[in-house]
């Protein structure tokens, strides 16, 4: 069982120390409730752009070379991510380098220079990143399905934002976004793994208090009512990328319902033994890739299905995928497949939690998005405790007639009409 200690620092930032036995690694992760869904319309792409910019240096490590070379000298893996939910920065090192890694991360993330010249250079880099995604049909399909499910709501916009926005972002605007959203009370610092080299008290707290004390931001825009669309980006190709989103009638604040939704998603299309994989890929040979995945935002759940396949087989695969969801809704799952999916989902989580970075990322989502306990053992136990009846109930809560649809390939929207 992990040993977890939590305290609130002077700047409002919660500090979670999570000691895990049997590892020589330590992950330090700092995250804020400042993802893409917190952006105003004209700011779309700013959260991700800011993530890039802080790596250009802080007060002590004052250029990108010092940041990168310092991380490499301690053998560290340094990275960051921006989602609709969060922005997070993390470094994983051997335990002996914990304090040095904390000094590095809190310097360039907690007090970034945000140099104008570096901003202008990085602007071009992110525009190239946007162009790269536009060249990848599967990435376009992912962006398209969000729009089909959420429209012009922030959850329907891309994390990267449009190129025209990147061209307009000013240093003052970026600083204003950071000061509005990066409040300690809406974030968290997570130090996970072998914490034997983490200094208690003043030394650790002083480094994390490099993050300024900021007022908590206002609430994000609630998720809209589900008014799904069918969106198609036509491309002259022999491959299609299909995406479908359902919105289950699930209370995302109920950890038991979320766990049951994950088991349902697993038996539907989350493993090689799942219904989608077995029938769409193995029995019918309609595609190489087919899956389902669930995700819970702070106020709304989604169930996403996807497939990459030969364009001539898209219509048959789409029809059969819808039918499988409808069959589960009408007839429910089998006890054997629930048992297998529960074991698989729990086992995958146990294996993931062998990695200190995965534990830290999960803890950040639990604490910041949902305000829940971060004990990884409890997360596994929730999967183990999911009952057949709970999964059958989830199947009934997925309306098979109401779904958002997106496709990239040689198709038109009327091919996906009900």
Mean pLDDT for the stretch of residues 395-407: 98
Mean pLDDT score, 247-271: 98
Q: What is the pLDDT averaged over residues 253-267?
A: 98
Number of domains present in the structure of the chain: 2
The verdict on 173 and 94 lying in the same domain is yes
**Do residue 256 and residue 179 come from a single domain?**
no
Does 325 map to a domain?
yes
Q: Is 261 in the same domain as 133?
A: no
Q: Tell whether 234 and 153 lie within a shared domain.
A: no
User: Do 127 and 91 belong to one domain?
Assistant: yes
Assigned domain for 365 exists: yes
Q: For the segment 14-34, what is each residue's pLDDT rounded down to a tens digit? A: 999 999 999 999 999 999 999
Query: So what's the pLDDT on residue 418?
Result: 62
Our measurement of the distance from residue 57's CA atom to the centroid of its chain's CA atoms, rounded to an integer in Å, reads 25
Mean of all residue pLDDT scores within the chain? 97
- Whether residue 187 lies inside any domain: the answer is yes
Selection from 109, 295, 78 nearest residue 187 by Cα: 109
Q: Structural domain of residue 37, as residue ranges?
A: 3-208
Domain assignment present for 73: yes
User: CATH code at 411?
Assistant: 3.30.830.10
pLDDT at 200 over 90: no
CB 268 within 8 A of CB 276: yes
Residue 121 lies in a domain: yes
User: Per-residue pLDDT averaged across 329-357, rounded?
Assistant: 98
184 and 283 fall within a common domain: no
In terms of Cα–Cα distance, which of 43, 105, 106, 115 is closest to 76?
105
For residues 158 and 76, state if they share a domain.
yes
Does residue 198 sit in the same domain as residue 280? Answer: no
Q: For residue 201, what pLDDT is reported?
A: 80
Examine the domain organization and report whether 234 and 204 are in the same domain. no
Is residue 219 in some structural domain?
A: no
Query: What single string gives the DSSP state of each residue in 208-273?
Result: HTTSPP-PPPPPPPPPPP----EEEEE--SSEEEEEEEE-----TT-HHHHHHHHHHHHHHHSSTT
Question: Is there a single domain that holds both residue 239 and residue 100?
Answer: no
Q: How confident is the model at residue 180 (pLDDT cuts 50, 70, 90)?
A: very high
Domain C-terminal end among 177, 208, 239: 208
Q: 15 and 77 share a domain?
A: yes
Whole-number percent of the chain with pLDDT over 70: 100
Note the pLDDT tens digit of each residue in 120-157.
999 999 999 999 999 999 999 999 999 999 999 999 99
Q: Is residue 192 part of a domain?
A: yes
Q: CA 399, CA 33: separation in Å to the nearest integer?
A: 30
pLDDT of 333 strictly over 80: yes
Q: Would you say residue 252 lies in a domain?
A: yes
Last residue of a domain, one of 152, 178, 208: 208
Q: How confident is the model at residue 64 (pLDDT cuts 50, 70, 90)?
A: very high
Based on the fold, state whether residues 203 and 318 are members of the same structural domain: no
Other C-beta atoms closer than 10 Å to the C-beta of 389 total 11
């Amino acid at each position: 069982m992990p040993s977890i200690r939590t305290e609130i620092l002077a700047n409002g930032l919660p500090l979670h120390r999570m000691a895990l036995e049997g590892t020589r690694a330590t992950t330090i992760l700092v995250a804020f409730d400042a993802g893409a869904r917190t952006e105003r319309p004209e700011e779309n792409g700013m959260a991700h752009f800011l993530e890039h910019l802080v790596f250009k240096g802080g007060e002590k490590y004052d250029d990108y070379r010092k940041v990168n070379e310092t991380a490499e000298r301690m053998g560290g893996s340094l990275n960051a991510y921006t989602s609709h939910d969060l922005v997070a920065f993390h470094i994983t090192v051997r335990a002996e380098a914990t304090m040095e890694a904390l000094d590095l991360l809190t310097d360039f993330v907690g007090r970034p220079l945000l140099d104008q010249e570096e901003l202008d250079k990085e602007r071009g880099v992110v525009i190239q990143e946007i162009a790269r995604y536009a060249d990848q049909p599967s990435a376009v399909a992912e962006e398209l399905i969000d729009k089909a499910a959420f429209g012009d709501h922030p959850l329907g916009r891309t994390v990267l934002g449009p190129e025209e926005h990147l061209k307009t972002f000013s240093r003052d605007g970026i600083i204003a976004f950071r000061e509005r959203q990066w409040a300690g009370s809406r974030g968290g610092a997570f130090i996970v793994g072998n914490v034997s080299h983490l200094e208690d008290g003043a030394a650790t707290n002083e480094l994390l208090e490099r993050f300024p004390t900021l007022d908590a931001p206002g609430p994000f825009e609630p998720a809209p009512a589900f008014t799904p669309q069918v969106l198609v980006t036509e491309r002259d190709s022999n491959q299609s990328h299909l995406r479908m989103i359902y919105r289950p009638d699930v209370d995302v604040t109920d950890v038991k319902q979320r766990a049951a939704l994950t088991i349902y998603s697993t038996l539907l299309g989350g493993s090689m033994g799942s219904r989608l994989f077995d029938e769409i890929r193995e029995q019918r040979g309609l595609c190489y890739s087919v899956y389902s995945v669930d995700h819970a935002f702070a106020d709304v759940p989604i169930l996403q299905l996807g497939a990459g396949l030969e364009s001539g087989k898209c219509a048959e695969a789409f029809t059969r995928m819808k039918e499988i969801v409808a069959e589960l809704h009408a007839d429910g799952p089998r006890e054997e497949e629930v048992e297998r999916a529960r074991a698989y989902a729990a086992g995958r989580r146990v294996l993931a939690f062998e990695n200190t970075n995965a534990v830290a990322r999960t803890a950040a989502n639990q604490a910041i998005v949902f305000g829940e306990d971060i004990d990884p053992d409890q997360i596994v136990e929730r999967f183990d405790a999911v009952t057949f009846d709970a999964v059958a109930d989830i199947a009934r809560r997925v309306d098979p007639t109401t779904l958002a649809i997106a496709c990239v390939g040689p198709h038109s929207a009327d091919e996906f009409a009900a």
